Chains A and B, each alone.
Chain A
Amino acid sequence: MDGRAETRYKRLPGRGPRRGGFITASFSRCSLYLGDDHILAVDNNGFSEDYKHFYFSDIQAIITRKTGRGATWSIVLALMIACSLTGALFLKVESFRILFWILSGTFLGFLLVNIFKGPTCVCHVMTAVQEDQLPSLNRLRVARKVIETLRLAIERVQGKLGPEEVNIGQSEGTLHAIRTAHPLRQPNARGHEIRHEAGTVHRMAFGLILLDGILTGILLLYHTATLTGVSCVLTLIYSILVIIALVRQHESDLPVTVRRIAWASLGFICVSYLLSCVLMVTALIAGRPEKMVTQWDMYRVVLDLSPQDSRLVMGVYAFAAACSLVLGTLGLVRMMRHRDDSANAFRVDQMLGGKARA
């Protein structure tokens, strides 16, 4: 059996560990080799090798996804350089200073190498029966280069795929509609059902945040206890609404931007509650606590806090107004777009359904 016939392999650029998390415990290094009719993924742990053959005739797709791993490492290394430099500059023991200078130099070297290698990515190769990661293609530049090489080899075996072959049976109008409807989430491949969310709670929450922003803006210029009270009630209502919105957006088809704005709103609410507590404590201490007999007296002191009284109150009001206006406006605008997208998707379904019936 001449199956033992030697296949000449050409090594493709790139090498990387097969990892399970951010920091891998595996010593296995993966590389990719180009054969006559297949690519060979080799996992080498120093003592043995595991092979995976991907035949050019079987490869259906190569999926490249940019990751933030490189950027994260750059930040971590920059922080380490900063710490080492601090030690090197401010320590008084000479030997420690030398050690920290060496550490700084080492980290700087790693940082430069990381920057030079460029952004990181994850590559998957897809065949009819599996989707497997190619850990050696972990840098975008290398991945692009290798994919171009592989594309030539695969197209030599499979031929070229024209755009009309992918978009077969889809008219330009349908395709355009699908493209414009793309921000909607499709049913999840993991089996989780993605439900449709109209976003009413989100709209109400963002609307109230915007309204509160306007009120706080007015309070900056003209302060009254009544308006402050209304603003407090509004804050309480939209805090509850934001929490409901966060629950409702889970596993829903809401766009990622809306979700992020909802989370940012929660962050803003937490910060503003914290700042309110600081203001309240400051006001209560300044307002002679022995004179405050009932709880209403305490509320009066807090409601009478005017931005014109101190710079701290002014700063807090300005911050709250700016954040509320930005978050409320962004959220409402994004929700309006989501409504348009939903209508667009409905139109696409109608078109496709109509065609299928025809």
Chain B
Amino acid sequence: MRKDGPSMTASVTRGLLLKRRLMEEISCTKCHTPILAGYYNTPNLIPCPSCDVPIRIDVFPAFSRGVQPGKEGEALIDDQASCFYHPQKKAVIPCDHCGRFLCALCDVELSGKHLCPACLETGKKKGRIVNLDRHRVLYDNVALRLALFPMITIWFTLVTAPISLYLAIRHWKSPTSLVRRTKVRFIFAVALAGLQILAWTAWIVYWVSRR
């Protein structure tokens, strides 16, 4: 009994800690009442203990892992390679972009790549790291709508067609949606705006020649 003591205590403590985590963190999205572990990963919806709303909770192993502690750079010993940013720290990996040596603290892993903070910052600013993109303007959509919708009134196209054409040409190479990458909208916008400009030119020429 005494022999099993520490392991049993550890198991119970772990269980209690996990129970506390479960009770604190997964709760009904309607009444916010914590839901116990017995209700996880059920094949069907089950009523919430508090508000009776049918609910299903799919839990994955990351839940029991919790938040991983951050890494600390190891101190430099003798003639080991040092971190570019922290000369007193031991280098563990080079930056995949600039090749600078990085300690564990400076190493930022993103989609399997190891980057230094400076490259990460530059990449984010210049939109070179797709996974850091949070917002994109859809210039192709803007150009197409600007060419398409004003056709209802005809007269507006005198202004909107050149703007649409400008946007299409100016942003031809700008990054568009993350999930679709065709230029078809730009092509349609250019074609429509071009036709509108041609029509206006023809009409103006005709009007001037008649006078």
- A residues with a Cβ closer than 8 A to B are 1-7, 9, 11, 33, 37-38, 40, 42, 44, 46-53, 57-67, 122, 124, 126-129, 131, 140, 147, 151, 154-155, 158-161, 163, 165-170, 175, 178-179, 182-190, 256, 352, 355-356, 358
**Closest B-chain residue to A66, C-beta based?**
B54
Could you tell me if A160 and B179 are in contact, using CB atoms closer than 8 angstroms? Answer: no
Distance between Cα atoms of A9 and B122 in the complex (Å): 25
Distance between Cα atoms of A163 and B62 in the complex (Å): 14
Interface of B is mostly: mixed
Partner of A65, one of B54, B64, B123, B136: B54
Could you tell me if B56 and A63 are in contact, using CB atoms closer than 8 angstroms? Answer: yes
Given contacts A46-B138, A64-B57, A170-B15, could you give 9 more A-B pairs where the C-beta distance is less than 8 Å?
A3-B131, A47-B137, A59-B60, A60-B62, A168-B14, A168-B15, A169-B13, A355-B12, A358-B8
Could you tell me if A49 and B56 are in contact, using CB atoms closer than 8 angstroms? Answer: no
Collect the chain A residues with CB atoms within 8 Å of residue B32's CB: 188-190
Report the minimum CB–CB distance from A61 to chain B (whole Å): 5
Judge whether B194 is part of the interface by a CB distance below 8 angstroms: no
Q: 1/0 contact trace for B33-67 toward A, CB 8 Å?
A: 11011111100010011111111111111111011
Could you tell me if A184 and B49 are in contact, using CB atoms closer than 8 angstroms? Answer: yes
Collect the chain B residues with CB atoms within 8 Å of residue A166's CB: 18, 22, 37, 40-41, 59, 64
Report the minimum CB–CB distance from B20 to chain A (whole Å): 10
Distance between Cα atoms of A52 and B130 in the complex (Å): 12
Report the minimum CB–CB distance from B130 to chain A (whole Å): 6
Could you tell me if A358 and B12 are in contact, using CB atoms closer than 8 angstroms? Answer: yes
Interface residues of B, count at CB 8 A: 75
User: Contacts A4-B129, A169-B16; is A60 near B37 (CB within 8 Å)?
Assistant: no
Report the minimum CB–CB distance from A99 to chain B (whole Å): 25
Distance between Cα atoms of A122 and B48 in the complex (Å): 14
Judge whether B148 is part of the interface by a CB distance below 8 angstroms: no
Judge whether B151 is part of the interface by a CB distance below 8 angstroms: no
Judge whether B97 is part of the interface by a CB distance below 8 angstroms: yes
Distance between Cα atoms of A356 and B19 in the complex (Å): 12
Judge whether B134 is part of the interface by a CB distance below 8 angstroms: yes
**Closest A-chain residue to B98, C-beta based?**
A1
Report the minimum CB–CB distance from B164 to chain A (whole Å): 13
**Closest B-chain residue to A125, C-beta based?**
B58
Q: 1/0 contact trace for B4-26 toward A, CB 8 Å?
A: 00001101111110110011111
Could you tell me if B38 and A161 are in contact, using CB atoms closer than 8 angstroms? Answer: no
Q: List 5 contacting pairs A-B, 8 Å CB cutoff, sorted by A.
A: A40-B179, A42-B178, A65-B56, A189-B33, A189-B34
Interface residues of B in 129-146 (CB under 8 A from A): 129-138, 141-142, 145
**Closest B-chain residue to A354, C-beta based?**
B12
Distance between Cα atoms of A189 and B62 in the complex (Å): 21
User: Contacts A3-B130, A51-B178; is A66 near B55 (CB within 8 Å)?
Assistant: yes
Collect the chain A residues with CB atoms within 8 Å of residue B18's CB: 166, 168-169
